[in-house]
Amino acid sequence: MDDYDLLVIGSGPGGQKAAIAGAKLGKRTAVIEKRHMVGGVCINTGTIPSKTLREAILYLTGLNQREMYGASYRLKNDITVGDLSARTQHVIGREIDVIRAQLARNRVEMLLGEARFVDRHTVAVTAADGSMRTVSAGRIVLAVGTRPARPESVAFDGRTIVDSDQILQMDRIPSSMVVVGAGVIGIEYASMFAALGTKVTVVERRERMLDFCDLEIVEALKYQLRDLAVTFRFRETVDRVERHDSTTLTVLESGKRIPADMVMYSAGRQGVTDPLDLACAGLEADDRGRIKVDEHFRTQVSHVYAVGDVIGFPALAATSMEQGRRAAYHAFDEPVVGTLGELQPIGIYAIPEISYVGRTEDELTQDNVPFEVGISRYRELARGAILGDSYGMLKLLVHAEDRTLLGVHVFGTGATELVHIGQTVMGCGGTIDYLVDTVFNYPTLAESYKVAALDAMNKMRAVERFLD
């Protein structure tokens, strides 16, 4: 008889929800995790600390209040690393306690150590003191997450040349910084340090940043970041980074040279699959350490599942949670309604925020879908004026014939919260008639849905009148 019905490797969002779902189904469940990584990358070095750092920066710099009180307004003049890390460490500790309590309450056993496969049903767990035990399970879920991808040519030292994990251990706030990579993580950190007053240069080999987002929204973000003195170098590639005492010199292939106190690489993520000895379980990973799964998150070995960042896009904590739950349910033949489709919201916690759900204008145009655009700008809303946010906007993409909502794109204060109203309407197959006819609290940012819906409706009626 196996030691467990379900064994989960990794305690991040996907692993937690898989383990709890298994336990709720009455299965003997255990989670394997390294002692210092309870909660996974999400809690320790990724989502939670970076978003907490963002809130600390917004609060201490008083950035959101400057439209009211002037460009020189600042809550604290000399912000230190200690100011920023105190809030971060408090939240991390609290979240770890919550995770431990949830697992314990559901009688999920925590096995501390590093896991590797012995065979398809057996895993060896090596503790920090070197002692080892083996456990077996009928079903296994891999939720090992990712780590920052590190180019071999770069000499990371954790102080002047860092990756997106090491940035949280910085001992000083740099006066200048080069961010290599304009993906989600790169742009989030670039905006945070720019808000602190750091002179930031972003280097990106592609033609634009965040190319999966709506172009108009990305342009609005780029404008705001340039207003914070961020310099963008698109279609540029780093040739080398030289270290000079406590500073760096980034040399681009074009010949440009950028001196800075710190260089942060954000060159994608690598699945943490090397230590697992996947071959012993009949599994393999690609060159980025990712594991291939089917629509039920099952690997090529029928009783082994994989969820979260280790299976690739979208690699979001929220999506990983639902993947974990669905994997555990499928493993024990428990029905799950529907599939994880297109209505997964994307949230980018830059300063300001971006969030969207559904399709973009480019995608709809490429697929020859007739659509109309409805826009609401925060500066036209009473709540926007109260908040001091004059740049925010909400954009609705509406089917020009049946008036269903095809996409929602939000930029500005509360974007990651606001997007869920549109997500719900889309999930229920609703049209913009609902948004036009409903009553929203006033003054709120949610009212932007009504304004944008009316804008789209007026445009469609103008076309109808022309055709008549």
Whole-number pLDDT of residue 48: 92
Confidence tier at 82 by pLDDT (50, 70, 90): confident
Q: Which helix (H) or strand (E) holds 250?
A: strand 247-252
Domains of the chain in start order, with CATH, are: 4-146+270-331 (3.50.50.60), 161-267 (3.50.50.60), 352-467 (3.30.390.30)
**Tens-place pLDDT, residues 37-61:** 899 988 988 889 999 999 999 999 9
Q: How many CA atoms lie within 13 A of 10 on its CB side?
A: 31
Whether the Cβ atoms of residue 118 and residue 124 lie closer than 8 Å to each other: yes
- The pair of three-digit structure tokens given for residue 267, joined into one six-digit string: 């060159």
With the CA atoms of 311, 314, 317 and 318 taken in that order, what torsion angle do they form, in degrees rounded to the nearest 10?
Answer: -120
The partner residues of 396 in beta bridges, in order of sequence, read: 374, 408
Distance CA 330, CA 6 (A): 12
Distance CA 176, CA 190 (A): 11
Contacts of 384 (CB under 8 A, 6+ apart): 377, 378, 390, 392, 412, 413, 445
Write b or e for each residue in 26-64: b if 16 or more Cβ atoms lie within 10 A of its Cβ, otherwise e. ebbbbbbbbeebbbbbbbbbbbbbbbbbbebbbebbebb
Q: Give the 3-state secondary structure percentages of the chain, helix then strand then coil, rounded to 5.
A: 40, 25, 40
How far, in Å, are 38, 160, 210, 292 from residue 312 at the CA level?
A: 21, 29, 17, 9
Q: Is 176 exposed, middle or buried (0-12, 13-18, 19+ CB in 10 A)?
A: middle
pTM confidence score: 0.92
**Tens-place pLDDT, residues 5-47:** 999 999 999 999 999 999 999 999 999 999 888 999 889 888 8
**Tens-place pLDDT, residues 437-464:** 999 999 999 999 999 999 999 999 988 8
Write down the number of H helices and E strands in the chain: 13, 22
**Tens-place pLDDT, residues 254-276:** 999 999 999 999 988 999 999 99
| pLDDT above 70 (res 434) | yes
Q: Cα(first)–Cα(last) distance of the chain, in Å? A: 75
Whole-number pLDDT of residue 1: 66
